[in-house]
């Protein structure tokens, strides 16, 4: 006689057998405990950088004087120890301040729950780099889709396309500082090579020794093949400039027109880069203090410009009459 599937008696665990209900409830309650920073590992693929900047030095001084006032959030690891969910900068400040323990809330969390909390807690920071938002939004979107029972897909649909991915972005946008469309733009940045992504970050960091590229042209460049991006970065480095939004759109269209193993050539990209940008047209500026005495306070800039042009036209006419 064939044996049916194994019987399931739903036997209680050893912990349930040898502990009281009060003890089990107590074990489930969240507590603030002091843990050594050495026991806490960073969140896997944490998208937010812990920078050694002036703000970190200031935080370290505060922690050294007052301690960590807001507990970090950690979750226990299966093999022992803990994983940081929210509080990477506080942990670093404690290390710099020489603290041997920091207050932590220990919470049981699934991978997706931890990812969503990690992203949400860091999106409240004052300065967030484009690359940080890019990978953070992608991680949260993937977690939300898994929680909803949907497979993760690459974020490659056109802007405004109503899809399953779009619905996830709409839900994410309701609790985020960025709109649905802006979130999609940031996620597209995950397709950039690191060198160009670093230039996008510099639009926030403003390092004078580095080039920078704005979000919109960076999004367009993310549609180029990786090899094309590498070629373009070499051109940007050589020409010491980055493409405008219009130039980036032109490169994307030319790249998408290629089929098979064809790709956008370096010569074609160089020609596009040599086109004059709107913000590269030669301008002549006069310090405001040199002309302010000729105009009433509050005079619109356009009226000042028009008056100066008319005055120069009259001056030229007078000069021509004197030359006759």
Residue 13: predicted pLDDT: 57
Q: What is the pLDDT of residue 159?
A: 46
Check residue 21 and give its pLDDT: 67
pLDDT in the model for residue 161: 41
Distance CA 99, CA 72 (A): 14
Output the pLDDT for position 288: 74
The boundaries of every CATH 3.90.1530.30 domain in the chain are 31-109
- Mind listing the pLDDT tens digit for each residue in 45-103? 999 999 999 999 999 999 999 999 999 999 999 999 999 999 999 999 999 999 999 99
Tell me the average confidence (pLDDT) per consecutive run of 10 residues in the chain, 324 residues long. 50 58 63 94 96 93 96 96 97 96 96 96 90 96 84 47 59 82 96 98 95 97 98 97 96 96 96 79 68 82 83 83 74
Residues 6 or more apart in contact with residue 255 via CB below 8 angstroms: 223, 224, 225, 228, 263, 264
Q: Domain 31-109 class?
A: alpha beta
């Amino acid at each position: 006689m064939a044996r049916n599937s194994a019987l399931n008696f739903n036997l209680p665990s050893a912990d349930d057998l040898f502990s009281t209900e009060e003890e089990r409830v107590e074990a489930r309650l969240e507590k603030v405990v002091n843990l050594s920073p050495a026991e806490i590992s960073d969140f896997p693929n944490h998208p937010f950088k812990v920078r050694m900047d002036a703000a970190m030095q200031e935080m370290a001084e505060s922690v050294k004087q007052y301690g960590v006032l807001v507990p970090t959030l950690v979750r226990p690891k299966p093999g022992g120890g803990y994983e940081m969910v929210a509080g990477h900068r506080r942990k670093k400040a404690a290390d710099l301040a020489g603290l041997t323990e920091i207050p932590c809330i220990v919470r049981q969390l699934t991978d997706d729950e931890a990812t969503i909390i990690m992203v949400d807690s860091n999106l409240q920071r004052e300065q967030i780099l484009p690359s940080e938002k890019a990978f953070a939004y992608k991680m949260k979107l993937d977690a939300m889709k898994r929680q909803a029972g949907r497979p993760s897909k690459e974020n490659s649909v056109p802007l405004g396309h109503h899809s399953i991915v779009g619905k996830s972005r709409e839900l994410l946008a309701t609790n985020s500082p960025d709109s649905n469309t802006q979130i999609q733009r940031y996620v597209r940045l995950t397709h950039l090579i690191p060198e160009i992504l670093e230039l996008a970050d510099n639009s926030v960091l403003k390092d004078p020794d580095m080039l920078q590229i704005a979000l919109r042209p960076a999004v367009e460049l993310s549609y180029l093949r990786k090899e094309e991006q590498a070629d373009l970065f070499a051109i940007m480095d050589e020409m010491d400039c980055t493409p405008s939004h219009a130039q980036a759109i032109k490169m994307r269209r030319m790249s998408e027109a290629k089929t098979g193993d064809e790709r956008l050539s370096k010569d074609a990209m160089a020609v596009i880069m040599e086109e004059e940008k709107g913000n590269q047209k030669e301008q002549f500026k006069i310090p405001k203090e040199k002309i302010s005495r000729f105009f009433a306070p509050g005079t619109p800039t356009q009226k000042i410009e028009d008056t100066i042009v008319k005055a120069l036209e009259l001056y030229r006419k007078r000069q021509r009459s004197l030359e006759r």
